[in-house]
Every structure is written in structure tokens, then in C-alpha cells.
Structure 1
Amino acid sequence: MKLRLQALDIVDFAGIKHQTFEFEGKDAKIYGDNATGKTTTALALYWLLFDKGLEWQKVDIVPKDEANNHIHEKVPKVSAIFDMNGTELKLQRESHPNYEKVEGSTKKHYKNSRTTKQYIDDVPFPITKYKAEINKIIDEEVFKLVTNPDAFPQLHWEDKRKMLFEITGDITDEQVIESSKELKPLLDIINNRTIEDHKKVISEKLKKAKEDLEHIPVKINTLNEQLQESSADLNIDSVNQQIELLQKEITNLEDKRSQARNGGAVTDIKRLISDKQFEMDNIKRTVEGDTLDKKNGLQRNLSSLESDIDIFESQYKRVDNEIENLKKSRENALNEYHEIKKERDTAEIEKFNADVTDTCPSCGQPLQEHAVEEAKQHAEAEFNQKKSRRLEQLDADLQRQVKAGKDIVASIEANKAKLNDIDNSLTNTKKEISKVSKQLEKVSGDLVSAEDTDEYKSLQKEIEGLENKLTNEQASVSESVQTIESEIREKQSALDEQREVLAAHKSTEHIKASIQEYHQEEDELLDLIEDLKHQKYIIDEFTKTKVNLITEKVNGMFDLARFKLFHQQVNGDIKETCEIMVDGVTYDGGLNNAARINTGLDILSTLSQHFGVEAPCFIDNAEAVTQLKETDSQQIELIVSEKDKTLRLGV
């Protein structure tokens, strides 16, 4: 799209009272002393299109008086005529003050706010639709980049870099690898990863391998310190045989101790005591058995009867409460019956009221006599019909209440019968309890104790004698057992010593094996580090190659500007950047104003070609450049001229 500025008219805009420029779509120069409004002309065009300033910020366009106060009644206006692809386009925007009425006065008060009016080809547009139409013509960001030489250099370096790659297109990793035989091994190394991702993998593996390698000598030294001095002529087979022999000797001694504890005399005495106790139990069962069984049966019967009493009393209370609730329900049903009966009697005696209007409700004229009579007959028929339906309903309600009352009375009688049955059960059960209690009392008095018999007492004395004999015999056995246990402890101590010797030997062998494993791991890590360093070298070479290819491709798009897209750090890593340079001098680090302007125009020209847009380009401080770089876009130079106290258009 080609957009050429034909004319620009500015009225009461910032510091310009009224200025008209006839550009006729050609390159032009605007001369003026400092503070005469040269830059304001570019600002006016930006405000007209996008309601923003040269740096894309909100701007204050209302004129000010000598005291720097806004002259709010002024109406800033900017209008422009463009040639857009051979078609005339007229745009106009105005900023009007907003007022509000002062209560009790004819004066209006300025609300400190403004409303814009905008026109396209003299047709008024609301602000939202106006912006949409302008956006169809040209995007804001694109317009800024193709009309202001400073726009691109002021972008963040990441945004500049991104846009450059949009213009030139990036170079794929495969293209970089194919450009050098030295890089071909990367195809087998990266395993479907990107080069950047694989570089991260290598860095992480290399870091971990170096850390692991640093820890291995420490681990080996720690294990060496744990090694115990062991006899070179230690016979492990002999140690194992000695352990086996001691285990057998201890087992034999434990069997001997068990035999001593369970000696023949002790066992015989215990058996005699057990026999005597069995005889005593038989006597007890013979003397007390029948009476005791009868007593226990009576006690179980008594407990069951007492439990029945609790159940009957609980049932009695529940049924009695149910009767009371039914009585209350019957009383409520009876009251409701009387209420319905009263209402029915009232409805039955109700008479028809023949009060019918004799005037037409629509026109207010008196009705004819036969019409009045018909109205009365109709009203009476409707009254009788409603009365009949009402009486039928009330009669049905009375019948329901009578039935409900009868049902409640029947339930009360049924529950009274239940109550009488429960009361009879309670009386009978209490009589049975009294009978069983007397039987239990009699049986308890007849109970005989076996311990009072002569035979039982004789057996008790025999058992006491046997227990005394057992105590003496066990004392003799205890002394023998203590001797055997002393021998067991000696053998166990010798066994523990031999086991410690064997354990120490096994620990030493295990430590030696671990040390050998660490040495092997150390060798493997050294090989891995060497391999990873080689991979890192190839990737670094890849990065350098890609840097050179991308830089050459980007710089080939421009005449003056050169771009530094990568920076090599002290550690050798490549860091992304984006610096504009001309003949080795950075844009922000020493480049003079003239070179900055021409460099900006060089970039602007390339961006215009990329976006397919030519738009008017305002060049501020153009007097600093003896030879401006030519562009396909319309150039409007803003030149400081001390003699021009007002703006002047030249070519």
C-alpha cells in the first residue's frame, strides 16, 4: 500500500494556532526556529490517525496561555488529505470541551474532559468505528515503524531480534549442520532433540559427572580408614570349623540342662500331686454337683423372668402413651366435626339476594325491564348452583370426620385390650418370680461343701507333704543347672569371639570390593566427561556457525545497518543480543546524529518493503544530515532554521 500525504491542516493544536501544508504527495522540508512547532506537525498526524504521540503515549494537545493554563474553549483540529493507492482519502479529527450547567445560573462549567469528533471523507464516525476503519488502512505498530526512523532502534532488543527474524526468516538446525562436515556427528548425538535442548542436557550431565568425580576420592579415603588390620595367614576354614564345634557343644549342654530341670524324682512328685488334685476334684463334683446344678438352673430361670418384667413394663408404657395420643386425636376430630357442621348449617339457610343493577356497565343507560329480569334469573341460578356444590362438599367433609372418629375409637379399644393382656402377663410373671425365689432359697440352704469331708482333708495333707518334698528336690536340681549354665556361658563367649573374627574379615573384604568399584566408577566418569566435552565442542562449533550464517543473512537485508545478534561470554557461551552497528560503532554507543538518522531510514526502508507499506516519514533534526538516505516512502524533513520564526514549507 502506498500512502502519500497531499495536505495537512492544523488549527489550535498544541503550540500551533493555524498552519496549512500543501505537500502534494512529494518529499518536502519544513523549516522553523526552535519551539516553532516543527515536531508538532508529525505529532498532529499521529494524533489524527491514532490519538497518540510520537512515542505512542497519550498527549496534551489543548493550547495554553502565557501562564501555562489550558485555553479549554479552543477546539484543536487536524485534517489531512492522502493519496492512498491513487485514491483520495480525507481524515479529520477535532477535540471539543465538555461543559455542564451550573444550577441557578446561565453559565456553563468546564468538566475538565473533552470529546473527539472524527470524520472520514467528511462523514462523521464514532470513535470505535473510526479506529476500526483506520486499522483497516494501516496497523498502528506498522505505521510507527515505517514513518519514524527512531521507532525500531527504541524497541527492546528481544523485540528487535524477533522482528529481524520475521523479515529474514530463521535458519534451521538441519541447514546449519549440512553446511559443515565437522557438524555431521550431531545428527547421531541429539536424539530428536533441538540443539539448544541437547546443549542443556550435556551441561547438566557434565556438571553432575564432575560433581560425582569429586566425591569419589573422599569415599575411597573414608573406606580406607575403615579397613582393619587382619592377619595375612588367617585361616577362614579353621574359624568356621571352630564355630561349628562350639555350636554343637552348646547344644549338648542345653540338652543336659533340660534333663536336669526335668529329672525323674521331680517329675514323679509332680505327677503324684496332680493325681491327688484330680481325686479332690472328683470328691467335689460328687458331693456338690447335683445341688449346685439345680441352684444354677434356678438362678438362670429367675434372671429370665426378671428380664420379662422389664419388657412387659416397657410395652405397657408404650401402649398407654398410644391411647393418650389417640384420645387427643379423637378430641381434635370431634372439634373439627362441629366446625364443619356449623359451617354447613349456615350455608343451608343462606338466601339469594336479588340486588341486580338496572344500568348498563358500558354506556350507563338504564336497562329494559325484561333484561333486568333475565339478569336476576341468571344470578339466582348461579347462586343456587354454587350453594348446592358447597353443601355437597361440606356433607362429604362431615362423613370423612365421622369415619375418622370411628377409626380412632376402634384403635383406642384395641390398645386397651393390649394393655389388659400386658397387665395379666405382668401379674403372672411376678407370681412365677416369687415361686422360683423360694425354691432357690431352699436349695441354697441344702448345699453341702466337699472341703468339710474327712477324705477331702486327708488328700490336702498328702499334697502339702508332696509339695515340701518337691521343693527340696528342686533345690538340688537348681545347683546342677547352675553348673551347666556356667559352662554354656563360657562356650558362648568363645563362639562370639570367633564370630567377631569372621565378621571383621567379611567387612574387610566388602570394603575392599567397594573401593575397587569406586575406582572403576572413577574411570567410567573420566571417559564420560571426555565424551561430553567433545559433544560440547561440536555444539559450540554449531552455535558459532549458526551465528555467522544468521548474522550474514540479516545484515544482507540492509545497506548501512549491521546487527550484532550474538555475544560470546568469557566462559565461551554464546548469549543472544541485538545491537545496531555502523562501521563497528554501536547505535547507542557513539554513533553521531546524522549516522543515526540515515541508519534509521535504512531500517525503515527495509521494514516498509517487508510490510508492503509506504507512508509519510517525518525526519526530525534533518539539518544534521548533509545527504539523507533515499527511501521509497515520502520524506518530510524537519529542519532547524533560526531565521524562520514561523513554519515554512520548502522542497
Structure 2
Amino acid sequence: MQIKFLELKLASFKNHGNLKVNFTDVTRISGTNGAGKSSIGEAIAWVLFGVDSLGSKSDPSPTTYDFEQVEAELLLTVDDKQVLLGRTLPVGKAAKFYINEVPKKAKEFEEIVSQLFDKQLFMSLFTPSFFFTQHWEEQRAQLLRYVLPPANKEVFAQLPAPQAEKLAEQVKKKSLEDLQAQHADNKRKQDKALIAAKSRTKTLIEQLESAPDTNDIDAESLTQKLCEINKKLDDFKEKQGEARAHNAKIEKLKVQLQVTKDGANKIRAEYKQIHSIPVENECTMCGQKLTDDAAAVVIDNKEKQLDEIKSRYQVLSDQYSRMEKELTGLEIVEIDDAQALFQQKSDIESQLKTIESQDRLALAIEEAKQNERDIHESYTESVFILDSIKAFKAKEAELMAEKVGGLFETLTLKLFAENKGDGEQKPFFEVEVNGKPYRKLSTAEKILAGLELISVLSEQSGVAAPVFVDNAESIIKYQAPDGQLIECRVADTPFTVTEV
């Protein structure tokens, strides 16, 4: 983009009651101090943006004479497109704006100017000192806006292979900023987790050390012995069941014998009672004497009743004899006491539980140690990645500084500063000439530094704008900018504009 000034008209602008300046490739303005040389640069900035040549709000109203309104009009071209910009400031009223002599509202005027060119870039190209009036972050951002940072591959090529390989793999999935945040957080978490893991391992080891010594206990032998005892107990339980069934059978026979005996005695008593009752010769119902046939029937009935009783008695007697004989062949089986076996079993199980508990402790200790190793590995990886990112940023800063520094001949730029806390490279910006920071330079040195910076900004941005050099008498020799030059010098002559 090529920006050129053609003509500037001023009316009641500071000490210029009525002035017209025609611009060429080189326009020289001379005159005594206070003649209004610097006002030319201020007028251009005021028409465009309502500020002075350093970007500050300004009131260009005259102070030495009466006036109705301040007027400024700038005719310029942007890539051969001509435009006439105007701004007036009536006394006691708001400013008015014009595009090609057509009135415009303030916002519309600002939008049209912003479409022509960027305010910050234009002011930095127009005035050698404007760039340095900005905050260092704005200076840095503006300069780097037109300089591509080194590619990741360039930086990786300068890093040790392990760091480069690790980061190259990681940045395929996440940005460096996200990686840094992720692993800084993981480092903090794993640092705390490692403390807790070590504490748990220590506690488990102390528990194992305080447990009974089981080194002399043969777990395999105890297990085999326990199996033998369990088998004996199973045999004992089987025999115990058989003995109890046998003894229960005896007790049942005894009960049955007694029941049979009691039944037989009851039948015997019944027989004796019926046998002792005499046969009556008279009828028990009517009292008449029985006939011989009737008496015979009564006697026969009694005999039959006694025979039936004798038969029932004989059945019980035979049953009693059988059971008595069976009982005679049976003996009560004594049940042995298995308490000793149960005690042995309890002792062995207790020892095996102790061994099992210690085995679990030993396993828990191994798991805790593995957990420690896993946490430490995660912690170490995060530390490595964070160190790699730190190394990457340091190398990137170094390459960026070399790249930007290579654009300048006399200026040295500091783009990064080391953080005292962690040694990381933090964004920073300062311009130096021969080791002296810009703020300590002389007026001539500051102008020369500004001109060199304008040259670089113009080349990198692709924009050539007029350059307004005030106090040019303080510098003897300098390289002319690519665009128009407006040079102001103090001279013991009236205010003069010379078109070269």
C-alpha cells in the first residue's frame, strides 16, 4: 500500500491563520522555534484521527488571536485512490467532518479512515517517536504482527532429540499452552499423591515387621496336617452319628419293652378279674333261674372271653421275648471326645490365617510400591514435558529474537526476559542502541532509531506512508524512508516550505 500526501490546507490552526502546503517526495519545512513547523505534523494527525503527532488528544485552537473555527483539510492518495479529508472545530461546538467535501458524522468519518489504513500502523510509520510512546506490550505486538514466528520444526531441530521427539508427538493432539497447563496440574497432583503413597507403603511395611515371625512355619505341612485332622473329624462325626443311632435304637427298645410289659400286666389283671367272677345261675336281667342250656352258654362265653384274653397276652409275651432277646445282644456305644482334634484344628487355622494375613500384607506392599512407581513415572513424565516446553519456549524466543533482530542494522530488540522465579522466558520488549535503552538515547539517536524502525515496519507490513521528521537539524545523516519525507529543521529564517 502506498500512502501519499498531496496538499494540506489550514485555517486558524494554532499559529497558522491561513496556510497551504503542497507535498512532493521530499518536503522541507524550516523556520525559527515557534514558527509552526511541528504544527504541520500535528495538523495531519488531527485531520485523520483528532490527535497530535504522538497520538494524544489535542486542541489546535489558536491562543494569540480571535477565530471562528479551526479548519484542516488533507488531500491524499491511497494506492492512487484520491480522497479529501476535512475536519473543523467551531468555537464552543463539536467538531465537524467531511469526506470529499461531503459532511459526515463522526462515526462514519472514523470508519472510512479506518478502511483506508490502520491508525496504529500509520502513526508508527508517520512519526519516528510515536511507536515508542506506546506501552511495551503494544510495541511488541505491533512489531511481531508482521513477523512470522519460527515453525515448530525449526525449534524442534534445535532441541535435544528426546525433548524434540516427545513434544513433537504431544503437540499433534494439544497445544503447548494446554500441555503446559495439563502437566503443571498433574505435577502438583502427583507430588501430593507420591507423598501419600510413600506413607502408605511405610505403614504397611511397619505392620508386616510388627507381625509375628512366620518364617519357621511350614504352611504346606500345616495345610496337609489340617487336611488329616479334618478327615479324622469327618470320620469321627460319621462314627458319632452311627453310635448315636445305635444307642437311640437301644433306648427305643427299652421303652418298647416297658410298654409291652405294662400292656401284658394289664391283660393279666383283666384275666384274673374275669376268672374270679363266678357264673350266676340266674339271669341278671329278669332274675329267673337259668336253664342248663343257658348256663352252659354263659360258661362257654366266659371261657371264650378268657381264651381271647390269654391270646392277647401271649402276643405281648412273644413280642416282649423277641425285643428282650434283641436288646440282650445290643450294648451302648461310648462316644469319644474330639475336643483335642478341634483344638488342633483351631491352632493350625490360626497359624494359617496369620500366614495368609502376612501374605496379603506383602502383596499390598508390592501393590503400594508399584503405585509409587506409577505415580513417580507420571510425575517424572510431567516434569520432563514441562522442562521440554520450557526449553522449547526458550529456543523459540532465541530464534524469534534472531529473526526479528536480523531485520535491523543498528537496533537491538529484547523480546523476552527471564523470569527470576522459574527461569522461564516471559514476553518483554525493549529497544537498545549500542547497549543503551531507548529512553536513555539522545534526541538524534531517538530519531534515527525511529527511522530504522519505520523502515522495518514499512517493509514487513507492505505499507509505505509519509514520514514526518521533526527536529531534523539534530541529525547529520540518515537514510531516507521509502515513502514521502516531510522534514522540519530549525533555521534563523521565516517559516518556509520547500518542495524538493
Q: TM-score, normalised by structure 1?
A: 0.50
Q: Deviations over 1:186-212 (max 9, x none)?
A: 346632515725566665666666555
Task: State the distance in 2 between where 1:601 and 1:249 align.
Answer: 111
CA contact (8 A) 2:155 2:392 kept: yes
Q: Aligned in 2, Cα 1:81/1:236: closer, same or farther, shift over 3 Å? A: closer
CA deviation vs aligned residue, 1:174-228 (integer Å, no higher than 9, x gap): 2333x45954873466325157255666656666665555555433321222121
Provide the C-alpha distance between the structure 2 equivalents of 1:546 and 1:115, rounded to a whole number of angstroms: 48
Alignment correspondent of 1:229: 212
Give the corresponding residue for 2:23. 24
Contact 1:230 1:505 in 2 (8 A): no
State whether structure 2 residue 198 is matched by structure 1 residue 220. no
- Give how far 1:33 is off: 2.8
Q: Could you tell me how far 1:48 is from its partner in structure 2? A: 1.1
Q: How many pairs align?
A: 403
Q: Which moved more, 1:544-553 or 1:40-49?
A: 544-553
CA offsets 1:61-111 (integer angstroms, 9 cap, x no match) = 444589xxxx8x7311112344666787543322235xxxxxxxxxxxxxx
Structure having the higher helix fraction is 1
Measured against aligned partners, the alpha-carbon deviations of 1:501-538 in whole angstroms (never above 9, x if no partner) come to 54433222222233334445556666777777666666
In structure 2, relative to structure 1, the CA distance for the partners of 1:216 and 1:9 (3 Å cut) is same
Which residue of 2 is the match for residue 615 of structure 1?
Answer: 465
User: Aligned letter for 1:169?
Assistant: L
Q: What is the alpha-carbon distance in structure 2 between the residues aligned to residue 152 and residue 247 of structure 1?
A: 101
Q: Report the Cα offset of residue 149 of structure 1.
A: 1.9
Cα 1:182/1:242, change in 2 over 3 Å: closer
Partner of 1:603: 453
Contact preservation (8 Å) 1:10, 1:16: no
Q: Distance in 2 between matches of 1:44 and 1:565?
A: 34
Instruction: Give the equivalent residue in structure 2 for 1:586.
Output: 437
CA contact (8 A) 1:566 1:576 kept: yes
Contact 1:157 1:579 in 2 (8 A): yes
Q: Any idea what SS the aligned residue of 2:401 has?
A: helix
CA contact (8 A) 1:7 1:20 kept: no
How far off its partner does 1:628 sit?
A: 4.0
For residue 573 of structure 1, what is the aligned residue in structure 2? 424
Alpha-carbon contact 1:183-1:541 (below 8 Å) kept: no
Q: Find the aligned partners of 2:487 and 2:99 in 1 and give their Cα distance.
A: 27
Alignment of 1:174-193 (within 5 A): 174-177=153-156, 179=157, 182-183=160-161, 186-187=164-165, 190-191=168-169, 193=171
Contact 1:95 1:117 in 2 (8 A): no
Structure 1 distance, partners of 2:155, 2:363, is 49
Name the CA shift for 1:85/1:230 in 2 (closer, same or farther; >3 Å). closer
Show the 5 A alignment for 1:469-480: none
* Alpha-carbon displacement from aligned partner over 1:335-385 (angstroms, at most 9, x marks no partner): xxxxxxxxxxxxxxxxxxxxxxxxxxxxxxxxxxxxxxxxxxxxxxxxxxx
CA distance in structure 1 between the partners assigned to 2:140 and 2:397 by the alignment: 13
Letter aligned with residue 613 of structure 1: V
Q: Provide the C-alpha distance between the structure 1 equivalents of 2:159 and 2:84, rounded to a whole number of angstroms.
A: 61
Aligned to 2:87: 93
Q: Match for residue 548 of structure 1?
A: 398
**Out of 147, 165, 173, which is 2:126 matched to?**
147
Kindly provide the amino acid, as one letter, of the partner of residue 396 in structure 2.
Answer: K
Residues 296-322 of structure 1, C-alpha deviations (whole Å, 9 max, x = no match) = xxxxxxxxxxxxxxxxxxxxxxxxxxx
Match of 1:168, SS?
A: coil
Change (3 A) 1:636 1:512: same
Superposed CA deviations along residues 147-184 of structure 1, whole A, max 9, x for unmatched, are: 1223333444444444434423222112333x459548
Q: How does 1:97-496 map to 2 (within 5 A)?
A: 97=91, 113-120=93-100, 122-127=101-106, 129-177=108-156, 179=157, 182-183=160-161, 186-187=164-165, 190-191=168-169, 193=171, 196=176, 212-227=193-208, 228-236=211-219
CA 496–566 in structure 1, closer or farther in 2 if over 3 Å, else same = farther
SS in 2 for 1:190: helix
Cα offset, 1:569, TM superposition = 3.8
In structure 1, distance between residues paired with 2:338 and 2:483: 112
In structure 2, how many angstroms separate the alpha carbons of the residues matched to 1:3 and 1:204? 51
Does the aligned pair in 2 maintain the 1:543–1:574 contact within 8 Å? Answer: yes
Unaligned 5+ runs, structure 1: 98-111, 269-486
Alpha carbons 2:201, 2:365 under 8 Å: kept: yes
Q: What is the identity, as a one-letter code, of the residue corresponding to 1:168?
A: V
Structure 1 residue 59: Cα displacement? 3.5
Q: TM-score, normalised by structure 2?
A: 0.63
RMSD value, Cα? 4.9
How far residue 555 of structure 1 moved from its aligned partner, in angstroms, is 1.9
User: What is the rounded CA distance, in whole Å, between the counterparts of 1:157 and 1:85 in structure 2?
Assistant: 31
- Give the structure 1 partner of residue 43 of structure 2: 44
| Matched-pair contact (CA < 8 Å) for 1:96–1:117 | no
The residue identity in structure 2 corresponding to 1:618 is: F
Whole-angstrom distance in 2 between the partners of 1:250 and 1:637: 123
CA distance in 1: counterparts of 2:179 and 2:99, whole angstroms: 58
Alpha-carbon displacement from aligned partner over 1:439-490 (angstroms, at most 9, x marks no partner): xxxxxxxxxxxxxxxxxxxxxxxxxxxxxxxxxxxxxxxxxxxxxxxx9999
- String of CA shifts for 1:206-261, please: whole Å, max 9, x gaps: 66665555555433321222121324333546766669759979999x99xx99xx
- 2 CA distance for matches of 1:131 and 1:231? 91
Does 146-155 or 519-528 show the bigger shift? 519-528
The verdict on how the C-alpha distance between 1:189 and 1:12 changes in structure 2, with shifts beyond 3 A counting, is: closer
Deviation, 1:598, is 1.4
Query: 1:12 aligns to what?
Result: 12
